[in-house]
Structure 1
């Protein structure tokens, strides 16, 4: 693991690391914010943040403005890249497929399967790496994300509740098997069998898994230019059907971008602080 960049931030440090990923079959990068408590060696609650289409490991660190409150709360923040990278890695013919668009699933179809194993990368390889190298409180780990990363946060939390104790999302793709973004990605990465798609669809997963969390928080802008891709109502219906408590907040005037995330990031950190302490 190689330290690529480190910057002092609210008496903690924002860092970027690179390492050779066996799962992704190439170099992988992730960002991590270490609050002052972590720099002193204290075990800290930790949040994985999964970013959206076209983002990288430093998008969240630069744009979300989460470090100030994270330092006060003593949260470690981990932000992996959104896909494998490199000249040897397959690339799609558009911005919403291929590099920058890993969708946090394990691809089964050529040419994607060789590198696009983002689910295993997050929940196995990166999870273990950071747990062994940083003072992470093993019983206080949550996950959240935005857009494609909101999809990733919801689905990985529902699949691995033993690893993630809390979950929230900003403008997540709630039913990817029923929207153009998801249909395009899943047909390429997973093939034509839509039964396989359902295994990576938050609305289908919550119906299959039932109520796993005390609460799930989603914030959604009503002026989101991608609203038709996101389908929060379908996830809300599924949660209601199985008794999973969901707080879905829709905000007038807000769009899909990081100004929206900045506006509510503190409330998400506070939400996770409560959930991880229960």
Structure 2
């Protein structure tokens, strides 16, 4: 694992150094590992979806921007997966967790795994994802777990830029031509039902929130909805009606769409073709 060089001079704690640290008192390692896996999988899967835009974005500038956002998310995923394997008793490293699990073992929200549509769809999905993740990481900067707090402190700076980027495009498309407005409205309609899952807490999240380690997803809803309403109003796009509550098991329980299977086939192909290889 490479050393953490803090390229932006933030002075933040090294998330990698905290990966094998002690579990906060009163917290089960298996719970903390499961939570880190959730957050790491969210970032890893969304990163891969954004990487798929390389060579496909409408302009070179957007291709570079999406690649950089993908790299930031990958940078969040790595220490989170390392922390998960270090505290859950399995001893698995980040590569094993990224490339050695099947779809049913992933714990990402399904918003991240949905296939890419057109560029307007991508911006609508990115806006929802990063607005939610920025609110989440903002809460986790005060986590009792030092690894989570370190990842969150660095991540909020990245997510703030990502949200600004996605919001700018949604406004530009929504308040642009009739066709661009139509595309962004259809993109929002496709991804909006997934927002219900973002605020549905799992038992692990509730236990860790009570222990001061995690954030209760339900508590994020007001902040997220306020930001989304503001962006969509500026874009002259109707705010979709709230989706029905997420009652059935979803991504946090390992229940995914077929899209995740296809994504993992591609993402894990080299690692599975050359097991045990080092790079």
Q: Normalising by the residue count of structure 2, what TM-score does the alignment of the two structures yield?
A: 0.33
Relative CO higher for 1 or 2, CA cutoff 8 Å, sep ≥ 6? 2
Structure with greater proportional helix content: 2
Larger radius of gyration: 2
TM-score, normalised via structure 1 length: 0.33
Higher strand content, 1 or 2: 1
